[in-house]
Structure 1
Amino acid sequence: MSQKNTRDLSVQPDVLNMTFRNFVEIIFENHEKSIQSYHIDGYSFFAVAVEPGTWSPKKRMNYNLLDAVSRHAIQVFPKSWAAILLTFDNAGMWNIKSERWERAYLGQQLYASILSPERSLRDEYNIPGNALLCGIVKGLPKPPSYT
């Protein structure tokens, strides 16, 4: 039995930096034998395709771009894939995760950080004064207030 070198490991959430109001395509693939469901907290997207097999760029020709359904969660069937389209038009931190808690806990989740270049209350509220901070940000100053 070999030992792995754990000195080079870091435990931290996966955070995608997204540009405010940019168009995004996300593909979920399920290589397992059970259905998977994924959710974006507090945000809706358009489910444009769910098909068996493996996704490839040619599959975009099959997308439903005329009357796609707006949803908050999408199911990905066994040995299938699903495509969603969205625009992150709300600044802030968004969580994209598996609907199954044990899977989200084991890493089937990530965050999307959407920053507004204008730093305006029109796009994002200030962090509440009574917000509790924990982990590595505990004790750090809060971001400057928006005007």
Structure 2
Amino acid sequence: MAGLSPQTPQPTTITVHQQSRILEVGFSDGRQFRIPFELMRVYSPSAEVQGHGPGQEVLQTGKREVDLLALEPVGNYAVQPTFSDGHDSGIFSWDYLYFLGSQQDELWRRYEERLQQAGADRDAPMVAASGAACGNHH
């Protein structure tokens, strides 16, 4: 997880918009981002999504309708969302939220590319990979 540096803008406002499924975050440098829950869920910084190293990422699908059930503060540097699909292990630091907000277009493009390469549909339900759980070695 990216650490905080003195240059990291701090959030001044965080608003959850349930109807539009958007997390609105205003930062101390004046920038304001509207981050879709789906983008947050697809790019969750958790090991469950990111894997344990490059190339280990788990392609997420069926997250367009995901809701944000809770958003808990983690110290003074992050928030931990609970999503309606039960995912709650991602800790989103301020700089990671800033990254998601500022790089949205590129992140969506990369997501669409990965779906295409995998021959996956964005709205297909997730298939549980057998034996792929953390620490589950055969």
TM bracket (short chain): under 0.3
The structure richer in helix per residue is: 2
Question: What is the TM-score when the length of structure 1 is the normalising length?
Answer: 0.22
More strand by share: 1
- The alignment's TM-score, normalised by the length of structure 2, stands at 0.23
